[in-house]
Amino acid sequence: MLLQGRLLIDPERIPEPGWVRTEGDVIVEIGEGDPPLDGEMIDAGGPECIICPGFIDAHLHLPQFDVVGCDGQSLMQWLDNIVYPAEMKWADQSVAIRQTLSAYRRMLASGTLGFAGYLTSHHHAVMAATKAAHQIPLRGIVGQVLMDQMAPSELLNQLEARLNRSEKGRLDTSLNPRFALACSERLLAQTGQRFNEGFPFSFKQREAGEMGTRLFLQTHLAETENEVTQVRELYPDDDHYAGVYDRHGLLSENTLLAHCLHLCDAEWDLIAKRDCVVVHCPGANTFLLSGVFDLNTIRERSIRLALGSDIAAGCDLAMPRVARSMIEMAKMRRMTIDPKTHVPSGAEAWTMITRGNADALGFHDMGRLEVGASADLLVLRVPFEVDGYLIDKLIHTWRENYISSRVLRGNSMHS
């Protein structure tokens, strides 16, 4: 494919006119000025367009796309009354497949071309994700939710289903213990053992020393004060909530910890020591009245940070609007709690929802506009002047109709 438009390579700079050529599923050439046509046609874009990487969402729940906006409840009430009934519907395999494909279409429409997500506890949920990925090849990390207590019996399970090499496509499997309250000591121990084994594909391959792809673990940590109190009562011998996970070997550089709103200094120090990724979900934190995230602590300890929509507690799938929510919450914290709160710039936020989130998820060839990177791109057509405020305008006025073309693995995709 040959794309023409202003190249949004560095959000700190005004994008210059240029062109991008893809072959197969990678970017093979990038140039400034007019494209070298030699009789070739422009496949997408034009001089007035903008070419940028697709967005990456570091935390969402595929079974929850149809229950966005059910307001007025605390986290535990919301799980019991809204989320668990929605997830129980996935016991019907056809529902799981249909809803997963719908979620993929909605991500594609919003410009999200890579994600880390949770399925349900059903074994066939993994198969549903792979079927959708073969139709719409988003890049993803997905995991069957693991829980064996404090939830409806229909959703309790043990260890996870796995992806075979032949079927996984652009998906990798993660281990997804929902949170400490839903997991017994036994399940956490089993999960930790599997996590630290590196997730071999089979016993024969394990004996031969052949290991699976890089394994991630996704979970929630300290989303609400009430949750923290209950974890303390459930695991009284541990010093703190993060310590429960650490004792079972669940904290590592491949661990994605969503929320992290109510942590003590010792927990932050532990997360930094283990080099975990903290996933900030500003929309969900506001929606469930969970708390206000502390960006300063993250910066002071050089903890890796990603950004997630957290559908359905988060009500907005579009990552530029999630980025705007992060900026707004930081401004609110500065005005009401800590006048020294860091407020991310538009360029920081844009980097986070592209290259930053991609790197946090191990997608090191994604989220960037460079030769050799994956051809997962967006072509934008915006109704305003392209100037030094372009990124701020994109984030604060974002509409899905800014996207004129979506390129997924080097192929034009219709949402």
Domain termination site, one of 360, 387, 404: 360
The reply to whether 38 and 109 lie within a common domain is no
Q: Please report how many Cα atoms fall inside a 13 Å half-sphere around the Cα of residue 117, on the Cβ side.
A: 31
* 59 shares a domain with 49: no
Statement to judge: residues 273 and 405 lie in one domain: no
End position of a domain, from candidates 339, 360, 381: 360
Q: Rounded to an integer, what distance in angstroms lies between the CA atom of residue 273 and that of residue 328?
A: 29
Structure tokens at 292: 């206000």
Per-residue pLDDT of 52-93, as tens digits, reads: 999 999 999 999 999 999 999 999 999 999 999 999 999 999
Do 266 and 402 fall within a single domain?
A: no
In this structure, are residues 245 and 253 in contact, taking their beta carbons and an 8 Å threshold? no
**In terms of Cα–Cα distance, which of 175, 167, 116, 125 is closest to 146?**
175
Residue with tokens 């594609």: 108
Q: What is the pLDDT of residues 94-113, one digit of tens each?
A: 999 999 999 999 999 999 99
Asked if 48 and 59 sit in the same domain, the reply is no
Q: Which two tokens stand for residue 376?
A: 């997962």
Output the pTM of the full model. Answer: 0.94
Lowest mean pLDDT across 86-90, 114-118, 164-168, 199-203: 199-203
**Pair (116, 68) in one structural domain:** yes
Mean pLDDT calculated for residue range 381-403: 97
Structure tokens at 312: 């359905």
Domain boundaries, position 191? 55-360
